[in-house]
Chain A
Amino acid sequence: MTDDRTLAALDQRGRAAAAGVRAAVADRPVPVLDPDVVRIDVDGRPEPRGRGRRSRPVVGLLAAAAAVLVVVAAVVALTVDGDPDSAPADQVRPGGPLRFTLATPPEGHVLAGVYDAATAPAPSAGETTSFGPLTVYGPSPSTAPTRRRR
């Protein structure tokens, strides 16, 4: 433990040391203070509490938001560009396979029905159906655009 005499000796030494410092700093005149000088503040004024740490969560939140946007964009892109047959009928995408559309029948013919070649055996021209003789029209299979089948 430190007693009073030890503390008194410390105070005496401290005051003597302080007097020495005060005398030492007084040997130089007060310098000119140029308020226009641009100083590079290495140590920096301590910032208000928390300001320095506050930017890190903001950056993290921005990064997380960007990541979410990327994931959402990827999901949307996969959904839109996935199965062309499942895409909305009112969407037309350049370069994609054309959906089947009903054209105007040739003169003298009446559209009696439609047939999906992908789900039923291909009929042959002249075959008689319940609607009458079958007439097949449309682009020639050799010149028609290739359609992807599943």
Chain B
Amino acid sequence: MTTDDVAPGGSGTTGPPGFDEMYRADWHPVVALGWTLTGSRAAAEELAQDAFLDAYRRWDHVGALDRPGAWVRRAVANRAVSHRRHLRVVEAGATRLATAARVAQAAHDAAPPDTDPGFWAAVRALPERQAQTIALHYLEDLGVDEIAALLDMRASTVRVHLSRARRTLARTLIATDPEEDA
């Protein structure tokens, strides 16, 4: 399936009760999460399709959850981690085959300048759990408890990940004003 198969105003599915609403409401946030964690919009849409398809096929379980959208987000976040690991292997092999440039281009496709690709590249350079928590924190303005529930982690663990991620990003991205240091 590709994103060319658009259905204005709806998912086009005749799924079980509640699924279509969740799909329409959560598609874009889920793709945004996948995009920031993988660096590729195409990969994010593929991961989102897989996650929503999983949710559809096990809707008896997912639909009974308090927040089915959280289940899909967690699925995409975990798949993004797998995707990154997979991409590292592909890039390593591509380097040996002298096709690194083509792979790198495919991995960073369609990144419009106003999304601050440098910021998200720094996020992706973080350890996996830190990248997941910081992406959810900024993208969906989620707090510690909400992220903990979504990623099935303890709040204290999320707090540590967020703190370390913010400090690392601050050191990496935010230039220090020399006059302030003086």
Does any Cβ of B come within 8 Å of A148's Cβ? no
Chain B 134-170 interface residues, beta-carbon cutoff 8 Å to A: 134, 137-139, 141, 166-167, 169-170
Does any Cβ of B come within 8 Å of A59's Cβ? no
Does any Cβ of B come within 8 Å of A120's Cβ? no
Are A31 and B6 touching (Cβ within 8 A)? yes
The chain B residue with its CB closest to the CB of A43 is B82
Report the bound CA distance from A145 to B171 in whole Å. Answer: 98
Pick from A11-19, A69-77, A90-98 the stretch touching chain B. A11-19
Does any Cβ of A come within 8 Å of B24's Cβ? yes
Q: Inside 8 A of A32's CB, which chain B residues have their CB? A: 1, 5-7, 11-13
The chain A residue with its CB closest to the CB of B38 is A43
Are B24 and A30 touching (Cβ within 8 A)? yes
Report the bound CA distance from A23 to B134 in whole Å. Answer: 19
Report the bound CA distance from A7 to B174 in whole Å. Answer: 8
Are B5 and A20 touching (Cβ within 8 A)? no
Q: A30-B6, A31-B49, A43-B47 are in contact. Are A22 and B28 (CB under 8 A)?
A: yes
The chain B residue with its CB closest to the CB of A42 is B86
Are A30 and B10 touching (Cβ within 8 A)? yes
Report the bound CA distance from A43 to B37 in whole Å. Answer: 14
Question: By the criterion of a CB under 8 Å from any partner CB, how many residues of chain B are at the interface?
Answer: 57
Q: Inside 8 A of A15's CB, which chain B residues have their CB? A: 138, 141
Most B Cβ at <10 Å: residue of A6, A9, A21: A21
Are B170 and A10 touching (Cβ within 8 A)? yes
Report the bound CA distance from A45 to B51 in whole Å. Answer: 8
Report the bound CA distance from A10 to B2 in whole Å. Answer: 35
Does any Cβ of B come within 8 Å of A112's Cβ? no
The chain A residue with its CB closest to the CB of B86 is A43
Pick from B53-61, B62-70, B95-103 the stretch touching chain A. B53-61
Does any Cβ of B come within 8 Å of A33's Cβ? yes
How does the 8 Å CB contact mask read for A16-40 relative to B, with 1 for contact and 0 for none? Answer: 1110111111101111111101010
The chain A residue with its CB closest to the CB of B54 is A45
Are A6 and B112 touching (Cβ within 8 A)? no
8 A-B pairs with C-beta separation under 8 A: A7-B167, A17-B116, A18-B32, A18-B139, A30-B11, A34-B1, A35-B57, A44-B79
